[in-house]
Amino acid sequence: MSTDPSHQRFPPELPEDNKRVLRILWVAFIATQGVFATIYSMLAETLEADPEQAVLMLPIFAGIALLMAGISLFALPTYAARASVDYRSACIFRFATAESIGIFGLVLGMLGLEGYPFGFFTAAALVLLIQAPSETDYQRYRKTWSGRQP
């Protein structure tokens, strides 16, 4: 059997080892938002930043964060399934894309914008929570993947 993803066959159920790995990664990506919040909280008082510049960046970063949430929740699963990317890799791509929302919040915090970074961290965690790896999600992904087969 070929290892080429385009010839890969998705099993009828998500293998247990994949479930375990995905759950661990999922929790780690959510926990990262707490790490970002801790870093921001520890450094916020010591930063010599320009809050005016941060206010100018807020709508840009908020727009990018919304775009990343949409990509993570909707575009990536469909695109990855149609491109025959295995479910585990697709989940990692989705998790990383959602995590970037928190990174935008951390950058805003480092620029001196107070309070808003926690909104970004929370939004990233919520997008990640929605994407919990499950058998239902796997079956939806598998159905999209099988729909692209000739």
Gyration radius of the chain's alpha carbons? 18
Q: Where are the alpha helices (DSSP H) in 8-134?
A: 16-43, 51-70, 76-82, 87-111, 116-130
The answer to whether residue 149 scores a pLDDT higher than 60 is no
C-beta separation of 26 from 131 below 8 A: yes
% of the chain surpassing 70 pLDDT: 92
pTM here? 0.89
Residue 123: closest CA among 50, 72, 83: 72
Q: What is the pLDDT of residue 7?
A: 44
Tokens for 93, please give them: 């791509």
User: For residue 145, what pLDDT band results from cuts at 50, 70 and 90?
Assistant: confident
With CA atoms as reference, report the closest residue to 110 among 72, 57, 33.
Answer: 57
DSSP per-residue letters across 108-129: HHHHT--SHHHHHHHHHHHHHH
Percent with pLDDT over 90 in the chain: 75
**For residue range 56-106, what is the model confidence (pLDDT) as tens digits?**
999 999 999 999 999 999 999 999 999 989 999 999 999 999 999 999 999
Specify whether the CB–CB gap between 117 and 143 falls below 8 A: no
Q: What is the pLDDT of residue 47?
A: 81
Give the pair of three-digit tokens for residue 47.
């930063």
